Amino acid sequence: MPFVSITRLRVRSWLYLPIFIVQAVRAARQAKRTKGNLAVRLLKDRRNTFWTATAWANEPAMRGFMLSGVHHRIMRKLMDWCDEAAVVHWNQDSIELPTWEAAHERLQRDGRPSKVYHPSRAQAAYEFPAPAPGKAAEIRFK
């Protein structure tokens, strides 16, 4: 049964955007090559907000990716770079990733905030806007 992971990150300053974008693409490429990965999508949303959606053969495959390589090295930096961060995971029957709107709904309903050093009001309230259709740019890696 495929394991889905959705993350939402908001970069708190344009000063961090160049390094964040480079590292996000590197981590997405790492995910694409990781054994057990079924799908990878990134979304550049408004207000320096970025979403990831990945599908995995199982939870251990996702955890192995999360704790290795580029992804592992940048996780701690995200706590300083971001003022909003959240994650949600679930198992489903299909390897098809959800729409971004469905991902947002699931994140709000079943997700949890990730630690950030400079939380915004939205982070504190755990209330995030849905991605803006037509104003966002998606990259599919797999």
Q: What is the CATH number of the domain that holds 124?
A: 3.30.70.100
Mean pLDDT calculated for residue range 7-29: 97
pTM of the shown model:
0.94
Structural element, H or E, at residue 6: strand 3-11
Count of domains for the chain: 1
**Alpha-carbon distances of 123 from 12, 24, 80, 84, rounded to whole Å:** 12, 21, 14, 5
Encoding tokens for residue 41? 């999508």
If you count them, how many residues does the chain have? 142
pLDDT digits (tens, 9 = 90+) for 47-106: 999 999 999 999 999 999 999 999 999 999 999 999 999 999 999 999 999 999 999 999
pLDDT digits (tens, 9 = 90+) for 38-49: 999 999 999 999
pLDDT digits (tens, 9 = 90+) for 22-34: 999 999 999 999 9
- Domain span at residue 41 reads 3-140
